Amino acid sequence: MGRPYQPSLLRLLHGLTAVLVLGCCLSGLFVYSRYDGRWGRLPFVPGGSWIDLHGQVGWFLLPVGLAFTGYALTLGKARLRRATNAMALVALVLAVATGKLMQEDWLRDGELHHLVYSLHLVAWLVIGLAVLVHVAGSLQLGGWPLVVSMSNTSLREGDLPGDWPSQIRRYIKRKR
């Protein structure tokens, strides 16, 4: 059996989303440990304005997440049928949306009672769980070759960045 190949646009959007989600998770963990900590704290929190960094990474995640969601609902629709993929995507949308609705001073002022903040925490817990299940499912489905194929930098003819607009046009024409 040949090595699996993932479309380059999927790899790009998936990779960017993964890096930004990881950045949000790590910075969010430091923010949670410093300002909330109701369910535990880290033994140390590195100095710095983690709440601002968390917001900035979330700001970058918004357009990337929108593009990834758009891809998932169109060209990647077949992959979205897996429950873990859909769960991670819904949790990502909820996390970004609630993050945008929050006021950063809430945490600095100790205002932990806001519904939006609680939904934001739940969304990140679901994302963490969904990512673990997603990776485990990918390993079960295709093993390491499938997981590695997401970070492969080789491109096939017809799957170059210049081909992305025509891929999208073909998808739109098929749907008419």
Q: What is the pLDDT of residues 19-70, one digit of tens each?
A: 999 999 999 999 999 999 999 999 988 989 999 999 999 999 999 999 999 9
**Whole-model pTM?**
0.89
CB 119 within 8 A of CB 66: no
Instruction: Measure the CA–CA gap between 173 and 176, rounded to whole angstroms.
Output: 5
- For residue range 82-127, what is the model confidence (pLDDT) as tens digits? 788 888 899 999 999 999 999 989 999 999 999 999 999 999 999 9
Please report which confidence band the pLDDT of residue 171 belongs to, taking 50, 70 and 90 as the band edges: confident
Q: 1 pLDDT exceeds 70?
A: no
Where in the chain are the domains? Answer: 8-175
What CATH number is given for 8-175 in this structure?
A: 1.20.950
Pair of tokens at residue 46: 């590195």
Within a 13 Å sphere around the CA of 66, how many CA atoms are in the beta-carbon half?
Answer: 6
- What would you measure as the largest C-alpha separation in the chain, in angstroms? 58
